[in-house]
Structure 1
Amino acid sequence: MNPYQSLPARSFWRTAVAEPEMLAVDDLWTPKFALGQDDPILTAGSCFARHIGRTLLELGMNWRDAEPAPPGLTAAERSARQYGVFSFRTGNIYTAAMLRQWLGWATGTATPGTESWVEDGRHFDPFRPSVEPAGHDSAEAMLAAREVTLAAIRDAIAEAGCLVFTLGLTEAWHERGTGVVYPMCPGTVRGTFDPERHEFRNHSFTQVQQDIIAAVELARGVNPELRILLTVSPVPLTATATATHALTANTYSKSVLRAVAGQLALEHEHIDYFPAFELITGVPFRGAFFEPNLREVTPEGVEFVMRRFTAALSRRPAERPDGESRPEKGGDQLCDDAVLDYYNAR
């Protein structure tokens, strides 16, 4: 006997990957901890994370919307102002550094900046520039709105059973001196780029690992029982600020994020990893789950990932019953970094 003789079929490339029909590839994830019907679940991260919250809600699970929309808003207004997208109105959190920053501000271990971006007399939050598309009347109003979100984060973390965080990128823009991290390069979505103030950083494995560990410690400092489920977004970066080709830059970014998530899941009982990235980008799927732009994930791809997610949680077969509704289209409309394609020279 040798160790390979007793391994299950999922351990071998031929039987687990090469032979099954594409949609039959399964059994990629055994949840480390249970998520019960009543466990409060929070979602945050890159734009792909919004699918998880919506699916949990459709399943009747306790996805927590910590900042519900005020009464009287239309569906279009709720969407434009990003109510109900993530558990908090932070907008997209692409990097581990920004998750750490938001949690530091929410827990009072770091002091939020007071910078305001002004356009046509309206004030916009540099750290969530797309959340209020019409802006605020004043810097004070903008900061007060942010405080509402910070309070929502703090209160929801204290009561949550699990935080699902989707890692998106390693590339980020920081303010020189203070080191604060922006969700997007100033001057793209909003604001003005100043090379004397703003600097580019491509975070390393060590930096991402340190940021996630620090973020988890901040959250569990509020709620020691909180569990963390990490995923990596399969959506490629729109543009790279490195000197490399976009394909190799994306490979670096996703490789670092996947390696960090896997390492932390191995080392900590309260951290798990769900393979959304592999379920879209893996070899057996041959790119079939990407739209023609090779960036947006198709509704069928989202459905495929979420079937595997919910089947593993509930131990149900992953097949889709006839007549089950598919996710709606419109993938890039909430992805801030999609605006970078505007700057693509044609």
Structure 2
Amino acid sequence: MKLDALEALKVTRSNANKRFPNEEDPRFVGDLLFPSLKPKFLLNAPARVFTIGSCFARNIELALADHDGIELPTSAFSVPESEWEFRPNGLLNEYNPGTISQRILSAVGSEDEPEETIVKTRDGFIDLLLPGGSPVTFERAVERRSEIRGIYESLVSSDLVIITLGLVEAWFDEEIELFLNRMPTRQDLRSQPDRYSFHRLGVSDALPLLDRAFGGLVEAGVERVLLTVSPVPLGTTFSGGDVVVANSFSKSVLRVCAEELSQKYPQVDYFPSYEMVSSGGLGAFNPDNIHVRDAVVRRVTGHMLDAYFPNLVSDSGTNGHAPDDANVARSGA
């Protein structure tokens, strides 16, 4: 952005939220900050909402599921607990810009993922394009990919696509030239050191990957994309140094990418869930300091619903908070 001097003064004079909020500011609610929003688009329920991204995308999904007017195609996916012991549809998680881009481009282009990324272990086969899961038979891994492709058939026809960017550290398959959603086994890393590499993506790496995917969505006819950055930090870093510093770099890169994409595409709007949750400090997180408290997710999602779904009454009240939930970020209630 570049403004001439007089235009900058004019913009500042007309901006009611130009100063960082103190405790008297209406944007400060129950130890969290709720930035003012100017949505690029509005939606009416009922609406189909497709969620893509990190585990925080699943958190948003669960909060949206409380509302009868929201249809969530991704909630229809599940696997047996023997394959994945966490949320039934958690295998849909996409963490880094590379796999998010690949997943979207595959969906809009109807391309199958190469079977070479289903690799054999001592106990069965694992899918390196999924975020985890126990070993299964090769046939089951192929079948599961088909089930996921079936879920993504609803992507283009959805009224809103919410994409949550997670992290910038990723493993890469040099032979197939694809980003991976999980680390290969240590045995494979040792036996095939030239096949796999680790990447810490900068803006110059991540932005072109995401730009191709968002361009593909728009070209396929998607008219509304809500882009967020997950507040969930890196659990482990492979880049060296302290994970706290690595996480700050990761979120900064993703936040810049989100800004660039929302400026480029009229169909893309940025929703500041990262800023809202982060404003509460570690009090907004569970004791592991990684996962966001469910009550905080509900408040943040309520703020989103209030802004983008004017005919849908959220259970969060004004500014995304319930009257009896004012101090949940600190109390953990």
Q: TM-score, normalised by structure 1?
A: 0.78
Q: Is the 8 A contact 2:54 2:230 kept in 1?
A: yes
1:92 matched to which residue of 2? 93
**Offset from partner CA, 1:77-130 (integer Å, 9 cap, x none):** 797375445xxxx53201121011122333447552213233454322221153
Mapping 1:231-310, distance limit 5 Å: 231-282=228-279, 285-310=280-305
2:215 matched to which residue of 1? 217
Amino acid at match of 1:242: S
Alignment partner of 1:193 is 2:193: no
Alignment partner of 1:80 is 2:95: no
Amino acid at match of 2:172: H
Amino acid at match of 2:294: P
**Structure 2 CA distance for aligned equivalents of residues 269 and 176 of structure 1:** 35
1:339 matched to which residue of 2? none
The match for 2:322 among 298, 320, 323 is 320
**Offset from partner CA, 1:231-273 (integer Å, 9 cap, x none):** 1011110111112322221111100101110121122210011
**Structure 2 CA distance for aligned equivalents of residues 198 and 179 of structure 1:** 10
2:40 matched to which residue of 1? 32
Amino acid at match of 1:114: E
2:225 matched to which residue of 1? 228
Q: Is the 8 A contact 2:53 2:165 kept in 1?
A: yes
1:172 matched to which residue of 2? 170
Q: TM-score, normalised by structure 2?
A: 0.80
Q: 1:214 to 1:36 in 2, by over 3 A?
A: same
Q: Is the 8 A contact 2:77 2:151 kept in 1?
A: no
**Offset from partner CA, 1:121-167 (integer Å, 9 cap, x none):** 43222211535x3x433x233223212312331x2123111110110
Amino acid at match of 1:240: T
The match for 1:157 among 141, 150, 155 is 155
**Offset from partner CA, 1:252-297 (integer Å, 9 cap, x none):** 1100101110121122210011111101113xx3432123332222
**Offset from partner CA, 1:28-58 (integer Å, 9 cap, x none):** 3232111221221100111111121122221
- CA apart distance, 1:314: 4.0
2:115 matched to which residue of 1? 114
1:335 matched to which residue of 2? none
Q: Is the 8 A contact 1:48 1:233 kept in 2?
A: yes
Q: Is the 8 A contact 2:35 2:276 kept in 1?
A: no
Amino acid at match of 1:150: R
**Offset from partner CA, 1:291-326 (integer Å, 9 cap, x none):** 3332222233223322322222345613315599x9
Deviates more, 1:308-317 or 1:264-273: 308-317
Alignment partner of 1:126 is 2:124: no
Deviates more, 1:167-176 or 1:139-148: 139-148
Q: Is the 8 A contact 1:169 1:254 kept in 2?
A: yes
Structure 1 vs Structure 2: percent identity of aligned residues? 23
Q: Is the 8 A contact 1:65 1:84 kept in 2?
A: no
1:332 matched to which residue of 2? none
Q: 1:81 to 1:143 in 2, by over 3 A?
A: farther
**Structure 1 CA distance for aligned equivalents of residues 71 and 228 of structure 2:** 17
**Structure 2 CA distance for aligned equivalents of residues 79 and 145 of structure 1:** 12
Q: 1:111 to 1:79 in 2, by over 3 A?
A: closer
- CA apart distance, 1:174: 0.2
2:331 matched to which residue of 1? none
Amino acid at match of 2:52: A
Moved over 6 A (4+): 76-79
Q: Is the 8 A contact 1:174 1:181 kept in 2?
A: yes
Q: Structure 1, unaligned stretches of length 5 or more?
A: 327-346
Amino acid at match of 1:205: V
Q: Is the 8 A contact 1:45 1:92 kept in 2?
A: yes
Larger relative contact order (C-alpha < 8 A, sep ≥ 6)? Answer: 2
